[in-house]
């Protein structure tokens, strides 16, 4: 009898297991494949490896501006694969070692069943069909998600693909149509464009990255336009068909019907939960969309059964899954002061070019929640920032804060707590670190303005935005 049986060895599952082990609990981990999940094997890690290649290539394309005579001779597909797969292998080896050290491993497909005495147990079917029962005081579902297609659109894997197949390219497509301008769609556009692909992104809503602040969406759409990526918003996909080696996507864009031809069609319209044949339906713990329904902690309505990660209807992000895993393990270990995850403080990061990162409320959400008069906004442009200029990317840091507080310049004065920060530009996904502290700690601009920021640096743009918000503009208005 283990303390916890975790089903699924992706970020949610192994974060739960590692935190539980650190709390002195005995953990079993059930995984049918290699540990690491979508993130390591077909998501975050390989995509970031290829995005890094694309970023280097962007620099090569503007090398002459910096006085470098560089000629680009095209992609070496084998070397690209070696690099991409090498990063995965290295990360996998480390993770696999830690899982072996910290958990009892069961290789096979887990299914929740009700055992003697009504306790939920995990039935594990191995590759050879052998069935083992694994018992624990608690069971944590961490089975992740799959790439969803659109109704009526068949993913053939060659021409019409999801990210599961598209990531493994050794040659960039000549012409690509990407359906969906969320994180996956925008990242693939940034990968392929510098490699010479003609790219069209088709988005149903009125802007790219629709969950981000409108200013971020507008800045990225503008940057994409300048780099020759066609972006069609408010576009309705009528059909997707394969014809030999090419695909045909028919879209209606503001009343006009267009037919887009491509040798690669990427469907990037979201992910669905892996809850089929898991036994969760029989336990009555799924919501109407098939996600595992839980409270804020991750507890289902069945005693001792929990869920973390993409299988829950929260943010489908690896670091959100980590946070949910830590919280569930701490709760089970009955740690004093443990807290459920507050996802308003979970940073959102998109590794497109330029990068986008944000935490907390968008300007529109803040105005809706607190009222127009109770919200103020400061934006610091990277156009005037030395590192921004030399890296050749435009962008900004936008700080959303509440008004009120003591008079400007006084400690705690010049504006109320920072409730959201939105960044577009190079290394935005790293720069969000300071912003996350600011929003999580409900810091006020004058406290943040008092922190010395290194010069020259990209993150001094954030310092300048805080200074302006505190009523103490430095270079800014």
**Catalytic residue numbers, as ranges:** 455
Torsion sign over Cα 222, 59, 319, 141? positive
Residue 183 interacting with ligand NAD (CB under 6 A): yes
Residue 271 interacting with ligand NAD (CB under 6 A): yes
| Smaller CB separation from ligand NAD, 185 or 414 | 185
Stretch that binds ligand NAD, among 51-59, 98-106, 173-181, 214-222 (CB under 6 A): 173-181
| Smaller CB separation from ligand NAD, 51 or 141 | 51
| Smaller CB separation from ligand NAD, 166 or 448 | 166
Q: How far is the CB of 441 from ligand NAD (least distance, A)?
A: 23
Q: How far is the CB of 452 from ligand NAD (least distance, A)?
A: 30
Q: Which of 63, 102, 210, 304 lies at the binding interface for ligand NAD (CB under 6 A)?
A: 210
Q: Which of 203, 212, 355, 460 lies at the binding interface for ligand NAD (CB under 6 A)?
A: 203
Q: Which of 50, 179, 323, 400 lies at the binding interface for ligand NAD (CB under 6 A)?
A: 179
Residue 459 interacting with ligand NAD (CB under 6 A): no
Residue 181 interacting with ligand NAD (CB under 6 A): yes
Q: How far is the CB of 43 from ligand NAD (least distance, A)?
A: 6
Residues 6+ apart with CB under 8 A from 56: none
Residue 265 interacting with ligand NAD (CB under 6 A): no
Give residues 8-27 in contact with ligand NAD (rule: CB under 6 A). Answer: none
Residue 194 interacting with ligand NAD (CB under 6 A): no
Residue 467 interacting with ligand NAD (CB under 6 A): no
Q: Which residue is nearest to ligand NAD (CB)?
A: 182
| Smaller CB separation from ligand NAD, 105 or 242 | 242
Residue 268 interacting with ligand NAD (CB under 6 A): yes
| Smaller CB separation from ligand NAD, 89 or 234 | 234
| Smaller CB separation from ligand NAD, 181 or 332 | 181
Q: How far is the CB of 180 from ligand NAD (least distance, A)?
A: 3
| Smaller CB separation from ligand NAD, 227 or 319 | 319
For β-strands 198-202 and 175-179, DSSP reports them as: parallel
Would you tell me how many other CB atoms lie within 10 Å of the CB of residue 151?
A: 5
Residue 262 interacting with ligand NAD (CB under 6 A): no
3-state secondary structure 147-198: ECCCCCCCCCCCCEECHHHHCCCCCCCCEEEEECCCHHHHHHHHHHHHHCCE
Q: Which of 204, 214, 293, 335 lies at the binding interface for ligand NAD (CB under 6 A)?
A: 204
- Residues near ligand NAD (CB under 6 A): 150, 179-185, 187, 202-205, 210, 237, 268-271, 316-317, 349-351
């Amino acid at each position: 009898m283990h303390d916890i049986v975790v089903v699924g060895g992706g970020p949610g599952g192994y974060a739960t297991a590692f935190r539980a082990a650190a709390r002195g609990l005995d953990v079993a981990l059930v995984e049918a494949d290699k540990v690491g999940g979508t993130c390591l094997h077909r998501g975050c890690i390989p995509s970031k490896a290829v995005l890094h290649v694309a970023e280097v290539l962007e620099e090569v394309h503007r090398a002459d501006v910096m006085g470098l005579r560089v000629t680009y001779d095209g992609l070496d597909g084998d070397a690209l694969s070696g690099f991409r797969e090498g990063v995965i292998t290295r990360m996998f080896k480390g993770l696999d070692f830690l899982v072996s050290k910290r958990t009892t491993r069961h290789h096979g497909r887990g299914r929740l069943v009700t055992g003697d005495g009504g306790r939920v147990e995990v039935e594990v079917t191995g590759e050879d069909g052998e069935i083992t029962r694994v018992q624990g005081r608690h069971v944590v579902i961490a089975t992740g998600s799959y790439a969803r297609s659109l109704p009526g659109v068949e993913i053939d894997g060659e021409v019409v693909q999801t990210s599961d197949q598209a990531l493994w390219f050794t040659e960039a497509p000549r012409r690509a149509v990407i359906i969906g301008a969320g994180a996956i769609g925008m990242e693939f556009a940034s990968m392929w464009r510098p490699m010479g692909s003609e790219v069209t992104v088709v988005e149903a809503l009125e802007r790219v990255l629709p969950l981000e602040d409108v200013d971020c969406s507008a800045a990225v759409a503008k940057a994409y336009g300048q780099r020759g990526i066609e972006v069609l918003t408010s576009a309705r996909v009528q059909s997707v068909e394969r014809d030999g080696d090419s695909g045909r996507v028919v879209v209606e864009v503001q009343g006009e019907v267009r037919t887009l031809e491509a040798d690669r069609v990427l469907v990037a319209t979201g992910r669905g939960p892996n809850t089929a044949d898991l036994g969760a339906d029989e336990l009555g713990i799924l919501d109407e969309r098939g996600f595992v329904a839980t409270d804020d902690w991750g507890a289902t309505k069945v005693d001792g059964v929990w869920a973390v990660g993409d299988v829950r209807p929260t943010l489908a992000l690896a670091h959100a899954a980590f946070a949910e895993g830590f919280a569930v393990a701490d709760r089970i270990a009955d740690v004093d002061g443990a807290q459920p995850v507050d996802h308003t403080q979970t940073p959102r990061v998109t590794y497109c070019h330029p990068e986008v990162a944000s935490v907390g409320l968008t300007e529109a959400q803040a105005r809706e929640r607190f009222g127009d008069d109770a919200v103020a906004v400061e934006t610091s442009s990277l156009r005037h920032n030395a590192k921004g200029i030399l890296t050749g990317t435009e962008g900004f840091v936008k700080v959303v804060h509440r008004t009120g507080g003591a008079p400007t310049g006084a400690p705690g004065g010049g504006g109320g707590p920072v409730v959201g920060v939105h960044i577009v530009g190079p290394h935005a996904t790293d720069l969000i670190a300071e912003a996350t502290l600011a929003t999580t700690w409900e810091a006020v601009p004058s406290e943040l303005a008092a922190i010395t920021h290194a010069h020259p640096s990209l993150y001094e743009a954030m310092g300048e935005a805080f200074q302006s918000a505190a009523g103490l503009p430095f270079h800014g208005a």
